[in-house]
Amino acid sequence: MRIVVLCSSLYSETACAMAVCIAESGYVPAGALALSLDRGTLLRKVGQWGVRGVARYARTKLVPHQSDEQPRVSNPYLEPWLRHGDGIFRSLRQVGAVHRFPVAVCDEQNSPDSIALLREWSPDLIVFAGGNILRRQLLEVPPLGVLNVHLGLLPEIRGMSSPEWSLLTEIPVGITIHYMDAGIDTGPILQRYEFPGAAQCESLNDLRNRLIGFGVEKLAEIVAGLDQGTISAKPQSDLDRDNQFFVMHEWLQARSAERLTKNRLAVAENSNG
Amino acid sequence: MTDSAARDNAMTGQLAKALIEATGLLRGPLRVLPLIQKLLSDKLRVNFEQRGLYSYATTKRPSLEMLNSLLRWILDAQRPDGGIAAFYSLLRGYSESYPEVTGYIVPTLYDFARAAVDDRATLAAQRATRWLLSLQMPEGAFPAGLHGRQPQPSVFNTGQILQGLVRAHVETSRPEIRKSAIAAGDWLIKMQRSDGSWSGPGAYQASSHTYYSMVAWALAELSGHTADPQYGLAAERNLDWVLSHFQPSGWIDGINLQGHPNYLHFIAYVQQGVLECAILRRRNDAIEAVAKSAWVLLRKFETNKCLAGAYDSDFKSGQRFTCLTGNAQMSCVWLRLFELTGDLRYLNAALKMNEMLKQLIPVRGRRGIAGGVIGSYPVWGNYQPLRFISWGCKFFADALLLEQRLTRSVEVAAVEALPCAS
């Protein structure tokens, strides 16, 4: 099966881990298409991380690490896929060089040039690891469809800040692997997985990182299942209900983190008692 | 009058107003400095602001500090007669006292006094009430427009002032305030048409408007306070008339301001009036209708990070400015819907809206500027350009007061009742 990875950045750890995971499962990607860094993204990152944070990130991605320095991975749960010999994969280009697939960069994933390139790679399936909101023309390129790993259970939690909203609305934390359509997280569902490790998480960031790792692991199962014809997608119920959630305000994030801590303490208490 | 003729008239009127206002600079040439400063800062902000889908505006300014700034602005805007100025213009300074806003700012002042234990707010509310009582016309109505002009009875302004009178009576129990509120309520009932709307003499442009739901809210409050059902029935008659203008898309027809676009301020007025009236009259059908309409705007806000200054009937907008007052009003609507439904997405949107608004309030500057809410952002936008407006401060203060009350209740609930993992 020919698979293409779409992602928001060449340096996305999640995209690198997905590409490695798929390749190691025997499905070497037919290509990977990443968004180039634009002024808007850069400014947003400066806003999120500060100038120092952005400089640190750029250093870890662009400057080769010293031999006596332990290479670092931002999301430790992706390390099994990102570790490569003594080092780590720092960009999709490195993954592509090792696993022998082409990597390209574009300004807009829906642009005619991007779609022409995708058609050239003629994928059966696209794995989406971030980027633009995909338009119908792109969604129709692969015969099977475009897969997304959503960090929440569909159809209950659509949209953004899904792990945090799951905690606050008392819907089990989990992931859903689904086909994308023109809506936001409204495409047919291939599989939902409740996440068993939520109560062990130290923080929201830890929870998010673990869910991403869990998603990459499950993605390989789904790709294999699709190839072997053992799984199929089911359209979402509840499409008439507006289950879309939006990026969570920090005050609510703090309440969500409190809920996480409370759950962790309760589990610890139960196991001690 | 045709739409285009009305638009032409409105444009001529606006141009004349702008020219008169610009002459203010001749009387106060020093005002040119803050004017240029504001124009430049908005220009810079418009050019550099980023509105990512995954982010939202944040600020380090605590809500209580912001509330204090807003109150200081309102207190500074209180004129020697006790009325609150309509606006501080960057061109001509403070306007005359504005009876309508003075009326409905009274509940905000009392709410602030209670939340912050601040006597200044109570005293300001008392002075404002005394002034309002002196303006009431023999038939029970209150006058339209700014103070000092030929008094014309106005349905909308009487309704807005009635809100303040009811609250002032709740706080003080003074019989003359009750008498005044009842006279206003009786006049409103007398002027109401059989279909529940108000039009003709006393109505703006002599037409009926759905944003007069704010009048229905005031009547519902009067009914609750006096236990007189006739005011409640009048409120519900208007509620039913307004509800008949809600479209399946969530759009509300009948704002009906000839020569003006459907400014967000008026769309939000309809929603606020219907919602508050529905809460008082226990009308779930009306609450659901508002929730549907408010949700459309919530989605737009979450996607674009602010709401447009005006919308067409399909909720589309070509406007490149935002009406801060309307944004603050929508924050109030969402917070009340959160309170009613428990849907945290309303609270989430309101928290982000309040953050966005805090960013746009000047921290420093002369009286009339610091702590003020500008009519439009950028400052040259269509709605009340180059003016800091008192009703903007009122609605943003209401939103922050509601935010404080509701976030506190969520925190208490989190400590007391949130279930643990099984």
pLDDT band at B418 (very low <50, low <70, confident <90, very high): very low
Asked if residues B102 and B147 have their Cβ atoms less than 8 Å apart, the reply is no
B290 falls within a domain = yes
SS3 B384: coil
Residue B86 has pLDDT above 90, yes or no: yes
Please give the residue range of the domain that contains residue B116.
Answer: 3-415
B349: closest CA of chain A, how far (Å): 8
Burial of B83 (0-12, 13-18, 19+ CB in 10 A): buried
Contact A40 B52 (CB under 8 A): yes
Q: What distance in Å separates the CA atoms of residue B249 and residue B412, rounded to the nearest whole number?
A: 37
Tell me if B410 and A255 make a contact (CB, 8 A cut-off). yes
Chain B residues in contact with A268 by the CB 8 A cut-off are: none
Give contacts of A168 with chain B, Cβ < 8 Å: 344
pLDDT computed for residue B422 by the predictor: 31
Pick the range with the lowest mean pLDDT from B78-87, B147-156, B224-233.
B147-156
Mean pLDDT of A23-50: 83
pLDDT at residue A131, as a whole number: 87
A160 closest CB neighbour out of B54, B295, B355: B54
Nearest CA in chain B to A264: B421
Q: Which residue has the higher pLDDT, A71 or A2?
A: A2
Could you give the C-alpha distances from B320 to B324, B374, B391, in angstroms and in order?
A: 13, 15, 22
> Are B164 and B106 in contact, with CB atoms under 8 Å apart?
yes
Q: What is the pLDDT of residue B370?
A: 94
What's the mean pLDDT in B320-331?
Answer: 95
Cβ atoms B338, B44 nearer than 8 A: no
- B422 is a domain residue: no
Please name the residues in contact with B361: beta carbons below 8 A apart, sequence gap of 6 or more. Answer: B66, B69, B70, B371, B372, B373, B396
Share of chain A above pLDDT 90, in %: 71
Beta strand spans in chain A (E): 3-7, 31-35, 83-84, 87-88, 103-106, 125-129, 145-150, 158-159, 174-179, 189-194, 244-245
Cα dihedral across residues A253, A256, A262, A264: positive or negative: negative
DSSP 8-state assignment for residue A70: P
Assigned domain for B186 exists = yes
Look up residue B413 and give its two tokens: 């609930």
Asked if residue B312 belongs to a domain, the reply is yes
Contact A249 B56 (CB under 8 A): yes
- pLDDT(B3) > 70: no
Within 13 A of B250's CA, how many CA atoms are on the CB side? 17
In a domain, B183, yes or no: yes
Closest of B361, B363, B381, B379 to residue B38, by C-alpha: B379
pLDDT level of residue B267 (50, 70, 90 thresholds): very high
Q: How many domains does chain B have?
A: 1
pLDDT at A199 over 90: no
Q: Identify whether B420 is part of a domain.
A: no
Residue A68 confidence (pLDDT): 58
Sequential DSSP letters for B318-375? ---SEEHHHHHHHHHHHHHHHHHH--HHHHHHHHHHHHHHHHTS-SSSSTTTTT--BS
Q: Is A251 on the interface with B (CB under 8 A)?
A: yes
A43 touches chain B (CB under 8 A): yes
Decide if pLDDT at A184 tops 80. Answer: yes
Write the CB contacts of B151 (distance below 8 Å, at least 6 apart in sequence): B135, B137, B143, B144
Q: Which of B58, B348, B410 lies closest to A246 in CB terms? A: B348
Residue B216 lies in a domain: yes
Structure confidence at residue B319 as a pLDDT band (50, 70, 90) = confident
CA distance A210 to chain B (A): 19
A255 in reach of chain B (CB within 8 A): yes
d(CA A140, CA A143): 7
Residue B92 in tokens: 């001509």
Determine, for residues A252 and B351 on separate chains, whether the beta-carbon distance falls below 8 Å. Answer: yes
Candidates A165, A171, A201, A246: best to mutate against B (most CBs of B within 10 A) is A246
Q: Mean pLDDT of all residues in chain A?
A: 90
Tens digit of pLDDT for each residue in A203-235? Answer: 999 999 999 999 999 999 999 999 999 999 999
- Statement: residue B420 has pLDDT above 50: no
Nearest CA in chain A to B403: A251
Rg of chain B over CA atoms, in angstroms? 21
A169 in reach of chain B (CB within 8 A): yes
Q: Which residues of B touch A48 (CB under 8 A)?
A: 55
CATH of the domain at B201: 1.50.10.10
DSSP B85-121: BSEEETTTEE--B-HHHHHHHHHHHHHHHHHHT-HHH
Which residues of B are less than 8 Å from A151 in CB distance? none
**Whether B348 contacts chain A with CB within 8 A:** yes
- DSSP summary character for residue A64: P
Would the pLDDT of A166 be above 60? yes
**3-state DSSP assignment of residue A127:** strand
Q: Which residues contact B170 (CB under 8 A, 6 or more apart)?
A: B225
Size of interface A-B (CB pairs under 8 A): 58
User: How large is the average pLDDT for residues A104-116?
Assistant: 95
